[in-house]
Amino acid sequence: MYEFEDLRVLVQAKSPLILIETYEELRALALIKRLAVNLMRPVFQWTITDGLQRTDRESSPQAFNIEPAQLLAQIKGTRVPGIYVLCDFHPFLNEPRHIRFIKEIAQAHERLGHTLILLSYALDTPPELARLSYRFQLSLPGEQQIRQMIGEAADKYSREHGQLVEMAPADVSALVHNLVGLTFDEARRLAYKAVADDGAITAADLPRINQARLSMLQSGGTLSQIVDTKNLDDVIGLTNLKRWLLQRQHAFRQNGMDTPKGILLTGVQGSGKSLTAKAIAGAWAIPLLRLDMAALYNKYIGETEKNLSQALAQADAMAPCVLWIDEIEKGLAGGDNDNGVTRRILGTLLTWMAERNKPVFLVATANNIDILAPELLRKGRFDEIFFVDLPDSGQIKALLALHLQRRQLNLSDAELDQCVALAQGFSGAELEQAVVSASYRMHTDGGGFSQDHLLAELNETQPLSVVMAERISSLRRWAQQRCVMA
C-alpha cells in the first residue's frame, strides 16, 4: 500500500524520469499498471524483443520501434501524455544520442506530460540526467508477510503430498528471521525450499537456506559463507572475550539504537582468532560470511572500491550475520604505488562501518596491527580491540587434551602435566600440529600411542614465540597499553 502511494505521489508531482532498480520486474510492472488505471493515464512498456506496447488495455506490440533511438524519437513526438516503462534500457545509457533524447523528453515534461520509467536490475545514472531523475525502491516483505508465505508454502506442500508439514514455532520464527531482507519472489522460493526438502521446517534448514540466500546475492567470489561454524565452548580460554560477547548477544538480536557493531582481534599468530570468529556466529546462531580482501582488487580504476561496496551491501542483505575479515591488514596496507586504491578502500569501509544500520557484526583479525591506519583503530570504529595471547599452562593442558581426544589418543593427567612443561610458549595451532605429528610418529613406530611420542615432537619444535621472540615481546608490550586482554 505504501509503495503504491509513494509512486503515485512521484508521478503526480510531475517527476519526468523515475528509476526503479529491482529483480522483481513483473511485480513492478503490475504496480505501474495499477497506478496508470488509478490516474487514468495510458501506460506503455518497451522491451528490446517486442518494441513498444500499450499494457493498460489489449494491444499489439509495435515492432517498428524496437531500436532505442526510434523509440525515444516517437515518445518525444507524441502529444498525448503517457507513462512509458523502458525495461532493461541500461545498456543503451552509454549512447550520447539516447541520453540527449531522454533529457529533452524530461525537460519538456510541462508541455508533453510524459513520465519515463527506467526499470532494470541495475541503473547507473548518466550525469546529464542526475538532476532530472528520481529513484524509487520496491518495498521488501516484513516479518508478518514472510510468515504468511511460509504458511502458504506449507499448505501447497500438504496439498501436493497429502501430509501435514511439521513446523515448530521456534523454527518458523528462526526461518522468518533469516528471510528478512529478501524480495517477495526470493523469500517465497526459499520458504518453499525449506518445506519441500523434508516436509518439515527445522533448525537444520537454516544453513541450506542461508547458502541459497547468499548465492542469490553473490559478489563474484569476494564474499563466501562459512558453514563449519563453532561454539564458544570450542574456544579454550578467552574468558574476558566470551563474557563480553554473552553480555551483548541480546542487544544484537534486538537491533536497537545501541546494537553491537564489531570487534578487532589481534595477537600472536595461531592463537585462535579465526576460531573465535567462527564461534561467535555459531553461538549467536547466525550466518558467518568471510570477506576475501585479496579478491577485491581489480586492475581497472574504481572497480576495486565497487567490489567492496557490493560485498558490504550483500552482507547487509544477509543480516543478521557475522562478517569476518581475516588478516585485514593485508588488504589495507598498500604501498605508495597503488594509485590511492588502498586509501579509497579504507574510506569505503570506514563509511560503511559508520553508517550501516543493519545487524552485521564485524569481526576483523590482524597479526600486524601496527601497520593499520589510525582512523580504523580509533574508538567508535570497533566496539573493542581484543588481544589474544599465548595460552597459559591450564589452557595448554586443555588444548592438548582436546586435540588428543579428537584423534582418539589418550594420556593421563600426570603425563599431560609433563607435556605442558615442554609446551610453554606454544600457540594453539602449534599445539595441534604437535599432536598431529606425534600421531604420525606413532604410526611409523608401529605401536600404540605414548607420552614419548608427544614429548619428542614438543622437544623438536621451536615455537613462533622463540623464533620471533623479539617481535612477539614487542607485540605483547604494545597490547598491554592499548587492548583488552581476551
Q: In the chain, where are the structural domains located?
A: 2-136, 143-216, 232-388, 393-467
Map grid coordinates 556466529 to a residue: 281
CA–CA distance, 423 with 401 (Å, rounded to integer): 13
The residues that bridge with 87 in the sheet, in sequence order, are: 119
CA distance 152 to 101: 46
Q: Which 3 state secondary structure label does DSSP give 427?
A: coil
Architecture per CATH, domain 2-136, reads as 3-Layer(aba) Sandwich (3.40)
**Chain centroid offset of residue 234 CA:** 25
User: How far is it, in rounded angstroms, from Cα 332 to Cα 80?
Assistant: 56
Compute the CA torsion angle 330, 323, 240, 476 (nearest 10 deg): 0
287 upstream amide cis, omega within 30 of 0:
no
Which residues are registered as beta bridge partners of 325?
A: 364
Per-residue pLDDT of the chain (486 residues), as tens digits, is 578 888 888 888 888 999 998 888 999 999 999 888 888 899 999 999 999 888 888 877 777 788 999 989 999 988 889 999 999 999 999 899 999 999 999 999 988 889 999 999 888 888 899 899 898 888 878 888 888 888 888 888 888 888 888 888 888 888 887 787 778 888 888 888 888 888 888 877 777 777 777 676 655 567 777 777 777 777 777 788 888 888 888 888 776 667 888 888 887 777 778 888 888 888 887 888 888 777 666 544 456 777 788 788 878 877 788 898 888 887 776 555 556 777 888 888 888 888 888 888 899 888 777 777 778 877 778 888 888 888 888 888 888 888 888 888 888 888 888 888 888 878 878 888 888 888 888 887 777 777 788 888 888 888 777 777 777 777 777 777 777 777
Residue 142's Cα: distance from chain center in Å?
Answer: 19
Grid cell 526438502 is found at 197
The top-level CATH class assigned to 232-388 is alpha beta
Provide the sign of the torsion angle of the four alpha carbons 210, 211, 217, 220, taken in this order. positive
Please state which CATH number belongs to domain 393-467.
1.10.8
Domain spanning 143-216: CATH 2.20.25: no
How far apart (Å, rounded) are the C-alpha atoms in residues 407 and 439?
8
Contact criterion met (CB below 8 Å) for 395 and 236: yes
Cβ atoms of 36 and 56 closer than 8 Å: yes
Cell of 221: 567470489
Same fold, 2-136 and 232-388: yes
Query: Amino acid letter at 54?
Result: R
CA distance 443 to 341: 51
User: How would you list the strands of the sheet with 384-388, edge to edge?
Assistant: 223-225, 288-291, 321-325, 360-366, 262-267, 384-388, 484-485
pTM of the model: 0.65
Cα–Cα distance list, 376 to 382, 383, 384 (Å)? 8, 12, 12
What pLDDT sits at residue 302? 55
Q: What is the pLDDT of residue 301?
A: 47
3-state secondary structure at position 457: helix
Instruction: For 379, list phi and psi in degrees, rounded to 5.
Output: -60, 135
DSSP E strand stretches across 162-203: 166-167, 200-201
Within 34-178, strands assigned E span 43-47, 51-54, 83-87, 115-120, 133-136, 166-167
